[in-house]
């Protein structure tokens, strides 16, 4: 074949092609150089030898040493993928996505081909996939279809120190299958040094330590407690920017709202700094940040500018951002807390643990000496912070996990091999709820309803709502509602300069005081009628991105309905049928109006309020059922629908008795009377 430059017959296409190829090649080479600089690289062969010799290995190494991105590649290079896939679990969806993207670049393949990720409602893998990053929750679900994980040759439970509920359950399950699958390699990797606990649990598995490179970090405390940590964090960022040598800043905040507020204030205040001060690039990162924007935090900071990353806990150990020299740690995170007595769960802004504070500080000393500014006093640190974060299994609702374990045929939950057992009270509460939802029978065995519910990757109350829709012939409507609820609170937006317009647009969907669930259904159906128009979303102050996500989720729920053989039927005109389906799942979340305008939950009485964003906030129906509780200044119910009290007895006769729903009549009677 003639060479490219042969005479007149210059084949430009081929030339461009080879040019593209060489560009890609040099990019790959550059990435390979970077890979070789990671702290883990000198230990590559030793690590592979250890994996070869032991079935279970505990791996410990500082954040940023290369555990997550490199180990699966080393194993692939060593041939492990010939026998099956390599799974690497992450507690956070963003981490799974971002790391998979990075590794696919390093391997020079398209994301979703050889390297992919799997997170709830989003499967970015294919037949070609050999390295699969996934949330710990998704691997847990894979046990349902493949109890011995036969498609995998290696399972790496990464970020084990996070001790999420799913990771803790995975520990028990993978430990169990490793006994009858001697060919399965198990890696437990963690960023903290308390690896002995993991080793003990996995029958004294050897510990492989990757020595980190760590530079000294100067720790600064405030002299007095800060009244407003968000403001203090913003002021500190600006002070660093104006007075300190180059280096990026990482600020730990508790959630999306806080990050958005901080972003806005920072943008506003940097505008006032004048042109003499270098540019400050503001990069937010949190779980629901749209994928396109997530990559921004990894882009190198332009010469002369400075980057400030506003992150949730995700940047504590899950994501490594190069170039951070300053860390601002207000000392808080959002944490789930659960009251097993009432069965109520809420997200609370809570002080972090000493271990977390240490991890956060460490993020500034990865590439050179760093500085950490703690927005709390040294006294607070030593006296008020717990040593370690309590594992999630000990502070959460277990209904979901219990349903899953029951579907896996694990009945004796009290004797499940937990690394740290959950409180017995919480286990009983979960069994009680599943029984009330008819997922379990009196003997604690899975029922047909329960088996169907377990197919849905949703909270049991949501799954029950869906399964119950068969009876009320409104499954189409209910999965739309479930999908909209699963998207979270990002459907409507409210621009500062157009709040009145936005509120009016929103109220349109609430005509007739239909309640928040039906309003969500109306939003979905109206959008569908416009053939999923983006313009329509703009006109109605609705986030098109959230709607597309809802449509995706809905499609998947429709597929699952088919799997459990529930027909797709719609009954939009029968609003009561839809409300009864909702009540069938959410009856434990019912509340009754009090004289002073607050509400009282029916079981385990507690005072709650309608969230101001609800369409029923001004209506105050006598009886409501709510989707969730959020605690801000008060305990608020979010996403509310009105119900008729006799539905409670009709739908959940084993849970509610007439006396629970009789309007204050029983109170006037002498004790004992009026009970069934």
Residues at the contact surface with Mg ion, assessed by CB under 5 A: 68
Element (H, E) at 484: helix 475-487
Q: Does 124 bind ligand ADP (CB under 6 A)?
A: no
Which is nearer to Mg ion, 68 or 89 (by Cβ)? Answer: 68
**Do 578 and 478 meet the contact criterion of CB atoms below 8 Å apart?**
yes
Count other Cβ atoms within 10 Å, centred on residue 376. Answer: 23
Which is nearer to Mg ion, 68 or 469 (by Cβ)? Answer: 68
Q: Does 185 bind ligand ADP (CB under 6 A)?
A: no
Which is nearer to ligand ADP, 76 or 429 (by Cβ)? Answer: 76
Q: Does 116 bind ligand ADP (CB under 6 A)?
A: no
| CA dihedral sign, ordered 404, 407, 408, 414 | positive
Stretch touching ligand ADP by CB under 6 A, among 59-67, 432-440, 521-529, 636-644:
59-67
| Alpha carbon distance 543, 304 (integer Å) | 35
| Alpha carbon distance 206, 464 (integer Å) | 44
Size of the site for ligand ADP (CB under 6 A): 17
- Report in angstroms how near the CB of residue 487 gets to Mg ion at its nearest: 28
Query: From Mg ion, ligand ADP, none, which one binds at residue 475 (CB under 5 to 8 Å depending on kind)?
Result: none
Q: What Cα–Cα distance (Å) separates residue 444 from each residue in 147, 344, 423, 526?
A: 21, 22, 18, 43
- Report in angstroms how near the CB of residue 56 gets to ligand ADP at its nearest: 19
Stretch touching ligand ADP by CB under 6 A, among 60-68, 77-85, 198-206, 428-436:
60-68
Query: From Mg ion, ligand ADP, none, which one binds at residue 101 (CB under 5 to 8 Å depending on kind)?
Result: ligand ADP
Stretch touching ligand ADP by CB under 6 A, among 62-70, 128-136, 238-246, 371-379:
62-70
Q: Does 362 bind ligand ADP (CB under 6 A)?
A: no
Q: Does 475 bind ligand ADP (CB under 6 A)?
A: no
- Report in angstroms how near the CB of residue 200 gets to Mg ion at its nearest: 23
| 195, 201, 204, 206: CA torsion to nearest 10 | -40
Which is nearer to ligand ADP, 80 or 599 (by Cβ)? Answer: 80
Query: From Mg ion, ligand ADP, none, which one binds at residue 480 (CB under 5 to 8 Å depending on kind)?
Result: none
Which is nearer to ligand ADP, 65 or 270 (by Cβ)? Answer: 65
Query: From Mg ion, ligand ADP, none, which one binds at residue 478 (CB under 5 to 8 Å depending on kind)?
Result: none
DSSP 486: H
Which of 60, 88, 101, 195 lies at the binding interface for ligand ADP (CB under 6 A)?
Answer: 101
> Over the range 54-77, which residues count as b (16 or more CB within 10 Å of their CB) and which as e?
ebbbbbbbbbbbbbbbbbbbbbbe
For residue 441, what are the contacts with CB-CB under 8 A and spacing of at least 6?
435, 447
Locate 517 and state its tokens. 């669930």
Which is nearer to ligand ADP, 65 or 118 (by Cβ)? Answer: 65
- Report in angstroms how near the CB of residue 275 gets to ligand ADP at its nearest: 31
Q: Does 322 bind ligand ADP (CB under 6 A)?
A: yes
Q: Distance of alpha carbon 524 from its chain centroid, rounded?
A: 24
Q: What Cα–Cα distance (Å) separates residue 213 from each residue in 70, 328, 366, 369, 540?
A: 16, 21, 7, 11, 52
Residues 396-415 that bind ligand ADP (CB under 6 A): none
44-53 helix and 67-77 helix, angle to the nearest 10 degrees: 70
| DSSP conformation letters of 593-632 | E-TTS-EEESSS--EEEE-TTSTTTTT--SEEEEEEEEES
Which is nearer to ligand ADP, 98 or 584 (by Cβ)? Answer: 98
DSSP-assigned beta bridge partners for residue 208: 59
Which is nearer to Mg ion, 90 or 475 (by Cβ)? Answer: 90
Q: Does 102 bind ligand ADP (CB under 6 A)?
A: yes
**How would you classify the pairing of strands 152-157 and 207-210?**
unpaired
Query: From Mg ion, ligand ADP, none, which one binds at residue 69 (CB under 5 to 8 Å depending on kind)?
Result: ligand ADP
Q: Does 98 bind ligand ADP (CB under 6 A)?
A: yes
| Alpha carbon distance 516, 519 (integer Å) | 5
Residues 270-299 that bind ligand ADP (CB under 6 A): 298
Stretch touching ligand ADP by CB under 6 A, among 98-106, 162-170, 550-558, 667-675:
98-106
For residue 651, what are the contacts with CB-CB under 8 A and spacing of at least 6?
580, 583, 584, 587
Closest among 280, 285, 287 to 297, alpha carbons compared: 285
Which of 51, 99, 186, 578 lies at the binding interface for ligand ADP (CB under 6 A)?
Answer: 99
Phi-psi region for residue 304, left (φ > 0), alpha (ψ -120 to 50) or beta? Answer: left
Q: Does 66 bind ligand ADP (CB under 6 A)?
A: yes
Closest-approach residue to Mg ion (CB): 68
Count of residues making up the chain: 676
Count other Cβ atoms within 10 Å, centred on residue 555. Answer: 12
Please report, as ranges, the residues that interact with ligand ADP according to CB under 6 A: 38, 61, 63-70, 98-99, 101-102, 298, 320, 322
């Amino acid at each position: 074949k003639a060479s490219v430059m042969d005479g007149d017959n210059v084949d430009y296409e081929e030339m461009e092609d080879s040019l593209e190829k060489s560009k890609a090649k040099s990019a790959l080479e550059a990435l390979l150089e970077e890979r070789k600089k990671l702290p883990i690289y000198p230990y590559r062969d030793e690590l592979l030898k250890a994996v070869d010799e032991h079935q279970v290995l505990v791996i410990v190494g500082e954040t940023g040493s290369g555990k997550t991105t490199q180990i699966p590649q080393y194993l692939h290079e060593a041939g492990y993928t010939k026998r099956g896939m390599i799974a690497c679990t992450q507690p956070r969806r963003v981490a799974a996505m971002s790391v998979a993207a990075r590794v696919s670049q390093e391997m020079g393949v398209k994301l979703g081909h050889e390297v992919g990720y799997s997170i709830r409602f989003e499967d970015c893998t294919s037949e070609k996939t050999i390295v699969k990053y996934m949330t710990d929750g998704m691997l847990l679900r894979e046990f349902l279809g493949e109890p011995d994980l036969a498609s995998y040759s290696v399972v790496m439970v990464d970020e084990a120190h996070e001790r999420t509920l799913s990771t803790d359950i995975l520990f028990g399950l993978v430990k169990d299958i490793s006994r009858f699958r001697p060919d399965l390699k198990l890696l437990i990797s963690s960023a903290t040094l308390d690896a002995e606990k993991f080793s003990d649990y996995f029958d004294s598995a050897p510990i492989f330590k990757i020595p980190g490179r760590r530079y000294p970090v100067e720790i600064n405390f405030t002299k007095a407690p800060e009244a407003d940590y968000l403001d203090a964090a913003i002021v500190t960022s600006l002070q660093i920017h104006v007075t300190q040598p180059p280096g990026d800043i990482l600020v730990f905040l508790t959630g999306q709202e806080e990050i958005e507020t901080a972003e806005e204030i920072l943008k506003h205040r940097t505008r006032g700094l004048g042109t003499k001060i270098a540019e400050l690039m503001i990069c937010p990162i949190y779980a629901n940040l749209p994928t396109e924007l997530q990559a921004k935090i990894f882009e190198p900071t332009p010469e002369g500018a400075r980057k400030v990353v506003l992150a949730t806990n995700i940047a504590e150990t899950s994501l490594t951002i190069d170039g951070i020299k300053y860390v601002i740690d207000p000392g808080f995170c959002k944490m789930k807390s659960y009251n097993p007595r009432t069965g109520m769960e809420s997200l609370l802004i809570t002080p972090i643990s000493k271990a977390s504070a240490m991890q956060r500080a460490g993020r500034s000393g990865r590439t050179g000496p760093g500085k950490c500014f703690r927005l709390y006093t040294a006294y607070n640190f030593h006296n008020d912070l717990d040593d370690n974060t309590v594992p999630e299994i000990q502070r959460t609702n277990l209904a979901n996990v219990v349903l899953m374990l029951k579907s896996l045929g694990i009945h004796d939950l009290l004797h499940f091999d937990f690394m740290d057992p959950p409180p017995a009270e919480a286990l009983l509460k979960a069994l009680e709820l599943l029984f009330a939802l008819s997922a379990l029978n009196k003997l604690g065995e899975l029922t047909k309803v329960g088996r169907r519910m377990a197919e849905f990757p949703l909270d049991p109350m949501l799954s029950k709502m869906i399964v119950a829709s068969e009876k009320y012939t409104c499954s189409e409507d209910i999965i739309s509602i479930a999908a909209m609820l699963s998207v979270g609170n990002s459907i409507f937006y409210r621009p500062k300069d157009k709040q009145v317009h936005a509120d009016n647009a929103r109220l349109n969907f609430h005509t007739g005081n239909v309640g928040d669930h039906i309003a969500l259904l109306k939003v979905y159906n109206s959008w569908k009628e416009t053939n999923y128009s983006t313009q329509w979303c703009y006109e109605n102050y609705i986030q098109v991105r959230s709607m597309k996500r809802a449509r995706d989720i809905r499609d998947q729920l429709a597929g699952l309905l088919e799997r459990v053989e529930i027909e797709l039927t719609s009954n939009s005109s029968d609003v009561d049928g839809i409300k009864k389906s909702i009540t069938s799942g959410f009856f434990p979340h019912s509340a009754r109006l009090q004289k002073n305008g607050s509400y009282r939950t029916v079981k385990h009485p507690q005072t709650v309020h309608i969230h101001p964003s609800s369409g029923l906030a001004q209506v105050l129906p006598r009886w409501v059922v709510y989707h969730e509780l959020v605690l801000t200044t008060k305990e608020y119910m979010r996403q509310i629908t009105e119900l008729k009290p006799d539905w409670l007895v009709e739908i959940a006769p084993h849970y509610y008795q007439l006396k629970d729903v009789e309007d204050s009549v029983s109170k006037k009677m002498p004790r004992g009377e009026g009970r069934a």
